[in-house]
Structures are given as structure tokens and as C-alpha cells.
Structure 1
Amino acid sequence: MAKTKTYYMPKDDAGKAALLDHLAKHLPAHAAALGLTEADINEVKADADAFRYTLSALNTVQSNGKLWTAFKNLQRDGGSGSTAYPNVSNLPAPVPAVPLGIVPRLSNLVARIKAARNYTEAIGQDLNIVGTTQLMDIDDIKPIIEIIVRAGRPIIQWSKGDADALEIWVDRNDERGFGLFTIANSPRITDTTPLPATPIHWKYKAIYRLKDAQIGNWSEVTPVAVGG
């Protein structure tokens, strides 16, 4: 077991929306101490409103979609129920749109806040941007990596969880076997190694790192087609 501090950012969308709402409400009280401008505060408020609206609209649309799916099946196959078409939900007027990338903006803002001269742990706690300390069982954790290909290049995606980084190894099918590719801190990394001229499979595996040491078990080996 190891003691670790969890990442402050919630993993689910509802949690992210709640954090944005909380910051929109509580950040103004600390703005002067943290050197934040009115534009910074307004940006957080706009992002909070926009993301909350999007989640609400999505829930409404998804619920309405379930009603239409059920009606479609009933209309097609028969059964008991109304022949009337379901209502189409009317969404409220949208709030002003914001630039794409709400969470990256939030992460950058929190980094600025924590780097401010007058930042304290108490301020972080009040803003809900301090992770909680907990015990983590590091013996059995195992990363799950997902690989997508964009413009011919493999992009490795993974969930950071409580680890500090991910150590990624690759077998490029060149008779050398697996070798270290990189130690990644970002949950999304592109392999920019020159691609082979003919189609081939590269294989990736990974293991979590904590405090500059490997922890847990290796991931499953994940192949991806490249080149050609």
C-alpha cells in the first residue's frame, strides 16, 4: 500500500460541471490575492454556464431519444400503447457559446492559481482544487491502453488514475523485441517515429509509475497496423 494524493479533477462530466460551478461561485473572493483578472473570472463563469447547459440539453435529448426508440419498436412490431407520436422536447434557449476546450482551460487556470505567490492550501481547499490523500493498493493495478490512428500515426491513450506517469514500451516488429518508447505524463501521446514503407504491426505495452518506480502489472499487449 502507498499513500498518494488523488488528482483534483473529477473523472466524470457531472463532477467537472460541479467543479466549474463551484469555482464560478467561490473564485471571485480570491481573485485579488491570486492575481486573477475580471476576464479570468468571467471566462470561468461562461464555461460553467455553457458546460452545465450542454449536459442538461444532452440528458433531455437522450431521454427523448429513448421514448422515440420505444415508440418506433411499438409502431413496427405492434403491442399495447398509444399510436400518437412522442413529443419532441423543446430545449431552453442556449447560453452564449464558448471556445472549445473547457477542461484544458480549467486545468491551465488551476495551474496558474497554484503557482500564484499568495496561493495557500486553504485557498485550494476552498476552491476544491486539492486532491484527497488516500491509501492506494499498488500491487495489482494494471493500466488499460487504447490506441487510435490519426494521419497514419498511433496515438496512445490511457487513464492516469493515481499514478504519476505511464512507462510505454513498443515492439516495432524489427526483431529487436520490446524497448522503451517513452515515459508519459499526458494521458494522450502520439508516436512520431518515422513510419515503415510497408504495412506492419507495432505492439505496445505499458506499466504505471509512481515516485519514479514501476508499480503494479504490465498492461495487455496492444497491436496496431502502421505503414504502407
Structure 2
Amino acid sequence: MKVFAPYLPVPDGNLAIWASTYKEKLGQLGGSLGLTEPEIAEQQTSAQAVIDSINRADLRKVELKEAIAAKEEVRMRQLVSIRNMVVRIKRSPLYTVSMGKELNIISSGQLVDASNLKPVINAIAFPGYVSISVRKQRSFGISIYTRLKGQQEWQHLGLAKSGPVLDDNPLMETDVPEMREYMARCYDGLEEVGHASNIAVAVFGG
């Protein structure tokens, strides 16, 4: 449940600063306002709880982003190594279809024409980050780019084996919402292939 009051900031970072100020100043002014020491202490405990909850959430966001990035890096690097070995195995004169079935390296689907791949993405803004969902059209991975609306140059956000991809880059100007654009290309483990995706837009407020 959200609590609304005109003096309460909405972005977590601003709310944490507000709660810290409230806690400090109430300790200084509470007596002059007729509040008892237990009442002041209770309010300061509430303010500190808000601060602690925001700090814990921020830490989890950083840990999640780092864990996802590490996972994708390992998967991308190691699966490329495995795929190269599978190519070598299939070219061996000792290779048989029976061996391929046992290793589960025989594709049951249709071959993918990498030159025609075009991913589909969608972006949704949440407090503290933007989540980019992807449909990579059976490609090995996906390469994500971002820019602010009105800019010409794309900035590379990262590679991913699967979505969603999280963009938790801070606002360039505090409390000034940004209209962020996102675009993706399919990635075959070595380079980008196919066509650029649709451009997804999200208004990020921090």
C-alpha cells in the first residue's frame, strides 16, 4: 500500500533523504512541538525503517544486476566454446547420427536464417529501473542499445542470453524524468546479425 502526502517525495532516493532529514530535525524540534520523548523515538524509528528498507532494496538491485550480468557472460562465453566443439565433432569422420542423438546435439527444428532475424522488445519503467523484455526469434543471444529520445547515437547497454534486461542507470538530472528509447539486434555468439528491432520507449522517473 502506498501512502500519499504532498510533501512526500516519490523516488526512493529522494524519500530516503527526506526521511533522514525528518528523523534528525524531529529530534531537535520535537520537544518544542510538545511531543514526548517516546513519541519522538517512535517517529525516528519509523523514519529509519523507511531508510533501511530503501537501502536494502537498492543493494538487492545492484546484486541482481551483477548476478544477471555474470550469468550471461559465463553462458555466452562457455556456450560459444561448446558450440565450436559441436561443430568440430560433427565434422569428425568418426561421428555418427546415433552419437549426435546421445549428445543431444541434433536440432529437431528448422534452420534459422540469421540474416532475416529481427527481435521484438518491450520496455516498462519501474521505480529504480527499466525492464526490457525480449523475443530473440531463436537466436543465440541479444544485444541491447539505449538512448534518450531526440538523440541520434545509440549507447550499448549489454548482451543477454535471455530477458528481461534491466536498465538501472540513474537519471542524468535528479527528479527530471527521461524518455528512454531501446533497440536490439540478434547476436549469434560472435557478432550481431539480422535487422534492428522495433524501438521501445519508456518514461523513467528514477
Fold conserved (TM > 0.5)? Answer: no
Q: Structure 2 length normalisation: TM-score?
A: 0.44
Please state which structure has a larger fraction of its residues in helix. 2
Q: Structure 1 length normalisation: TM-score?
A: 0.41
CA radius of gyration, larger in: 2
